[in-house]
Amino acid sequence: MSGKLFVALDLGTSSCRALAFNQAGQTVAHKSLALAPKRPQNGLSYYDGAELLRAQKNVLNSLLMQVGPQNVRSISVAGQRSTVVLWHKQTGEALAPVLTWEDGRAAAEAENAPVSQPEIHAVTGLYKTPYFSAPKIAWCLKNCPAVKQALSENNLLIGPVPSYFIYHLTGGKTFATDATLAQRMLLLDIRTKTWSADLCKAFGVPLEALPQLRPSAADYGAYEFEQVKIPLCVCAGDQQAAAWGRLKAGQTLINYGTGAFLLHNVGHEERAVLPGVLTSLAASCAACQSDYLLEAPVNAAGSALQWLKAQGLSLDDKKIDALCTSSAAPVWLLPALGGLGAPYWDFSLSPVAAGLSPLTQKADWVAGAVRGIAFLLADIAAYLRANQVAVSGPVAVSGGLTRLTYLMQFQADLLQVPLTLSDEPESTALGAARLAADYMGEPLQEPPADIPRTFSPKMTPAEARALHQKWQAFLTWCKAQPR
């Protein structure tokens, strides 16, 4: 394997993936391992820390063995953002369940924190919910004896999953994170890009246990593998990594993963914090200033299809598209796993279905779930447009679910703008690799043949509007059901 390769890890919710890219931006090696969180009951979602770390290291080491560590220029680490790890400074051992962004057990801690929603939104750009890290940390501090003991001995460290991984890769020499990950801890002031002492106090989080803040692309130490020291250059949130280089000011991107996220870049100015959506920070490097992103999550996208499988519906991922196309009467399905995200923020809702008949088939359930994802993203776009944020085309799309032609076409129809899909399915890893290459002054080339696939609206504006109104009526009915 000749030349210098940029290795990137995507530490996702359902899998760990490691990819190697050459200077032309092409994937030359790819390793992955499925690792879904444990979900023993509604509202709980967590990993075993040792199992998570072992899986991540195995994937990285396997890739490095394949390509040769001497051929690797840098390693980038991107991953899920609100999942939090509490570990021991000396041993590196996780001291509590690694609560994922989906875990809602800290609802009481979120509710009882002495800070109002407008106050926390103004400081962090986020909302006080159990899905961000601060309430989870508060829960662990109250309920995990090992965490309490480590805190009393000044041996407690707290950080997002990528920071925990980097800590282990560097043998404990680097304890740091970037703003895209730190923000999801619900403890970062996005105006000053520093930890907020007031919010740490409100949630009872020890400030001294939090990681050092660095740009997304910076010196994060080195990983020594087979006597070769490889620089670690990137630590970033998955959505921001996916957006690197693809989302300029005024542009919109939708990333479809376990959840779905609509991102709209509003530029360098810290524009209005818009109620109903999040204000996030874009990835950054030492030489560039962070843009601000309006970000709106849909809690369940890929997980909605996983949920159908868990209900006993036999689904072959390669046949989902064909099932959707064959559906004559799609079910009206609200995929409210973990409640509703933007712009509703209603965590009391669960999945609701309507439009069933004796003729309802598997294809109708699958098409209903896929359409439900698209409808929730259309709700977000409609909300932004109503608040003078121009969601105009083309909208870039990325993530695993973009393989579903049915979803992409239906989304374009509802939004009434073209969607552009790059040929690169691993957008998070590629974005993280590009960020490292830019930081090192060795930008990856743009593949000359990478002409995005485009999905243009086939519905008329009147047809799309009428369909969306039916969805809105269904959603109103869902909210009125007993809970």
Query: What H or E segment, with its residue span, contains residue 468?
Result: helix 461-479
* pLDDT > 50? residue 313: yes
Q: Average pLDDT, stretch 251-267?
A: 90
Residue limits of CATH 3.30.420.40 in the chain: 5-236, 247-421+452-483
3-state secondary structure (DSSP) of residue 375: helix
Smallest CA-to-CA distance from 24 within 4, 38, 48 is with: 4
- Structure-token match 């047809």, residue found: 463
Task: Determine how many CB atoms are found less than 10 A away from the CB of residue 483.
Answer: 7
239 confidence band (pLDDT: 50, 70, 90): confident
3-state secondary structure (DSSP) of residue 370: helix
Cα–Cα distances in Å, from 453 out to 112, 127, 263, 394, 403?
A: 48, 35, 20, 11, 11
Distance CA 205, CA 145 (A): 16
Distance CA 184, CA 197 (A): 16
Q: Given this structure, which CATH class describes domain 5-236? A: alpha beta
Q: Average pLDDT, stretch 104-132?
A: 92
3 confidence band (pLDDT: 50, 70, 90): low
Backbone angles phi, psi at 32, to 5 degrees: -150, 160
Contacts of 116 (CB under 8 A, 6+ apart): none
Reported as a single tens digit per residue, the pLDDT across 383-432 is 999 998 989 889 999 888 999 999 999 999 999 999 998 766 788 899 99
**Which pLDDT score, from 0 to 100, does residue 2 have?**
47
Task: Determine how many CB atoms are found less than 10 A away from the CB of residue 422.
Answer: 17
Burial letters 211-234, b for 16+ CB under 10 A, else e = bebbbbbbebbbbebeeeebbbbb
Bigger pLDDT: 483 or 202? 202
Share of the chain above pLDDT 70, in %: 96
Structure-block tokens of residue 78: 């991107």
DSSP string over 349-392: ---EEE---TT--HHHHHHHHHHHHHHHHHHHHHHHHHTT----
For domain 247-421+452-483, the CATH superfamily is ATPase, nucleotide binding domain (3.30.420.40)
Q: Average pLDDT, stretch 257-273?
A: 80
Cα–Cα distances in Å, from 336 out to 333, 351, 396?
A: 9, 5, 25
Helices and strands in the chain, H and E counts: 15, 23
User: Is residue 156 within 8 Å of 88, Cβ to Cβ?
Assistant: yes
**Which pLDDT score, from 0 to 100, does residue 270 have?**
55
**Which pLDDT score, from 0 to 100, does residue 384 have?**
95
* Residue 84 CA neighbour count, 13 Å, CB half: 31
Cα–Cα distances in Å, from 111 out to 95, 298, 402?
A: 24, 22, 36
Contacts of 276 (CB under 8 A, 6+ apart): 342, 343, 345, 383, 387
Distance CA 460, CA 480 (A): 31
**Which pLDDT score, from 0 to 100, does residue 342 have?**
93
Contacts of 456 (CB under 8 A, 6+ apart): 412, 418
DSSP state of 37: P
288 confidence band (pLDDT: 50, 70, 90): low
Reported as a single tens digit per residue, the pLDDT across 55-110 is 999 999 999 999 999 999 999 999 999 999 999 999 999 999 999 988 989 999 99
- Structure-token match 């009393």, residue found: 152
Smallest CA-to-CA distance from 404 within 379, 425, 418 is with: 425
Share of the chain above pLDDT 90, in %: 73
Question: pTM for this structure?
Answer: 0.83
User: Is residue 11 within 8 Å of 80, Cβ to Cβ?
Assistant: yes
User: Is residue 80 within 8 Å of 159, Cβ to Cβ?
Assistant: no
Distance CA 375, CA 383 (A): 12
List of E strands, 154-215: 156-160, 176-177, 188-189, 194-195, 212-213
135 confidence band (pLDDT: 50, 70, 90): very high
